[in-house]
A and B are shown apart, each in its own frame.
Chain A
Amino acid sequence: MTTLTLVHLYPREMNIYGDTGNVLVLRKRLQWRGIEAMVVPINVGDELPADVDIVLGGGGQDAAQGDIGADFVRRAGTLRSMADDGVVMLTICGTYQMLGHEFLTKDGHRIGGTGVLDLVTRGSDHRLIGNNHVDTEWGRMVGFENHSGLTELGTGVRPLGTAAAGRGNNGTDRTEGAVRDNVFGTYLHGPVLAKSPEFADELLRRALARRGMSGDLESLDDRLAMAAAAVAVGRPR
């Protein structure tokens, strides 16, 4: 039986808005199709396993981001070569910001990032909070945004989609998230994959294709998820 390796980055610190649910969604969607998933939690100081198929990371408290920042940056070279090698990554909020070049705090401090994604983030005084849905090439994704960092995309990435309801990356250019190769970043909590099964399967197909396996996945009954997404779109921001 095939086993995919899922790395969960800093589960203790970067878990504040239920993003751990993305790990569960991918693991179950693999298991329901007879594919095993091994989830490897990576905390400060831990070594990354050799063959990684998918990397997942969520949002955390600002203070925790400081604690793990140095550890994250230490892995910058490894993460960049994994991205070049086509490893699938889904990063949310705080982890998404740290995949960029840098984070400039509102009082002028520069926190280095890993440079996996061509983007920079600046701290701001107010938080962008509310329901959001985003039009992407994998359909409409729904979730909840809650961040004060404003992210500007460079030319090396394209946006994940267009913020249809919320504020997105920075509240001005209507972009939301970023994509480069198989690396995805977004501000959508929810967790985003729970109500975006099509996108969840896209991530799995890419990970399997990289292993040289057919991209065909048995279809699952996602009517509940689609119903929940439709309700979410109808809710006020």
Chain B
Amino acid sequence: MDLLAIWLGKLTLVALRILGRRGTALPGLVVEKVFPRFLARKLSALSQGVVVITGTNGKTTTTKMVSTILAQQYRVLTNDTGGNFVRGTITAVVQRSDWRGRTPADVAVFELDEAHAVRFCQVYQPERLLLLNVLRDQLDRFGEIDMTAQLLAKVAARTTQHVVVNRDDPRLTALAAGLPAKVDYFGVAPQLREFFPTDEEMYGGTITLSELPAVAELLDLELGIATDLTLRIGEVTEAITLRAEGAHNAQNAAAAAALALTFGLGPAVIAEGLRKVEPAFGRGQSFEIEGRRVVLQLVKNPAGFRQSLRTVDGLRPAATVIAINDDYADGRDMSWLWDVEFTSALGSTISIPGSPRPVDAPAPPAKAGWLVTSGTRAADMAVRLHYDEIAVDLVQPDLAVAVREATFHVKPSDTVVVFSTYTAMWELHRVLERITAV
């Protein structure tokens, strides 16, 4: 029967490919409908069980880190194509299986969004769970962050062996009490806590330091094109250079290390795995177009956007594109753009054309360089920047045109940064793959 399920899924994938479509959802959906118990049966056969990784930010990168670390020891099955719904995990199993129905894997590492993690646990109780953070995100979907935390509590209660929790997120530590599984924590050193504000702290609350012991702790951090960090893994301190840039990735590394320790891997092996991790889709990936470097930064919510904006200081772009779509996967509500402060990250105060109040001194150049807003909500983004007194040079909803304009506005050897929401990022990949090779 599993052979039939795999064939059905694989044929759907082939059909999609013939149609020239990218498919992480449909094959899984088809198999789920016809063979509802396929996933549970396949996962039960894995000798090292299933790891679920969830939270608001960092799921994809952390999943990649955990998979890369574990791959040094085990055959890893993962949904690294961005399908973080239950059907995405089914597609991953199908893709990993051969036409004879065999699935050569010892362990599965799945990123799941909060609501689908609950659904997944109804199908299969994972052995291990990694809880990253709860921040405001896509409130049009979940309503409130307290509700999101309740979803994660359900997932934690269904986990059988090990739950690894961010000790610096009080919403998560609150749900760790009384779980059937063993609980471990990861965290960042007290002097780094200001880089990783919780939701309350981001809106003016005071920073609270956790006294919970962390099995993996981020001790030090230096940002640049690469991210140099010092990580305590168990009892050992390791210096690691990550290929993906940004402070948030350093925190994700601590999370991945803590989870890897539950497999009994040694600190040196874990550190070696982290050094190998390539940046995930849109998380600091870079493309080259006729000598210009185009760096992609996926933005999904206020906390992530704020973190990503910091990379402007390291990259010094000659042009910046901000692409905002408003489909379901992006978040329908534009309010979140107003929870991000842009003045210090992107701009200098520049007078806005038509604004009756000129500035007295000549304006220094904006840190963002030549600035373009794009995507369905290009105008919304421009309004947001207008109120932070950052001049927008071009409002161009068409993403392909916007990226071309920005790229050829700057000199060869210059850098262009593109901040983009989820669906715009997919579109961007299609555009960039047409113009260039990755």
Contact = CB atoms under 8 A, between A and B. Distances in A.
Interface string A109-150: 000000000000000000101110000000000001010100
A17 B387 contact: no
Interface string B191-231: 00000000010011100000000000000000000000000
Interface in B381-401: 382-384, 386-389, 395
A225 interface: yes
Given A32-B357, A146-B139, A194-B387, A232 B332 contact: no
Contacts of B326: 235
B144 A235 contact: no
Interface of B: 136, 139-140, 143-146, 200, 203-205, 326, 332-339, 352-357, 376-377, 379-380, 382-384, 386-389, 395
Contacts of B334: 18, 144, 190, 232
A61 B144 contact: yes
Contacts of A28: 387, 389
Contacts of B379: 224, 227-228, 231
B390 to A, nearest CB: 12
A41 B382 CA distance: 27
B358 to A, nearest CB: 11
Interface string A6-45: 0000011001111111001100100111100000010000
Nearest to A43: B204
Interface string A186-200: 000111001100000
14 contacts: A17-B333, A19-B335, A20-B338, A24-B388, A32-B356, A34-B357, A194-B380, A194-B383, A195-B383, A220-B355, A225-B383, A227-B395, A228-B382, A232-B380
Nearest to A11: B204
A130 B383 contact: no
Interface of A: 11-12, 15-21, 24-25, 28, 31-34, 41, 61-63, 127, 129-131, 144, 146, 148, 189-191, 194-195, 218, 220-221, 223-225, 227-228, 231-232, 235
Contact of A16 (B136, B352, B356, B376): B136
Contacts of B377: 228, 231
B227 to A, nearest CB: 30
Contact of B338 (A11, A21, A127, A225): A21
Nearest to A25: B387
Contacts of A33: 356-357
Contact of B143 (A15, A127, A225): A127
Nearest to B357: A32
B387 A190 contact: no
Given A12-B205, A232-B380, A17 B356 contact: no
B395 A224 contact: yes
Given A62-B144, A224-B386, A228-B380, 17 more contacts: A11-B204, A16-B145, A20-B339, A130-B140, A144-B332, A189-B335, A191-B335, A195-B380, A195-B383, A221-B353, A224-B383, A225-B386, A228-B379, A228-B382, A228-B383, A235-B326, A235-B332
Interface centre among B203, B335, B355 (most CB of A within 10 A): B335
B381 to A, nearest CB: 9
B203 A15 contact: yes
A191 B338 contact: yes
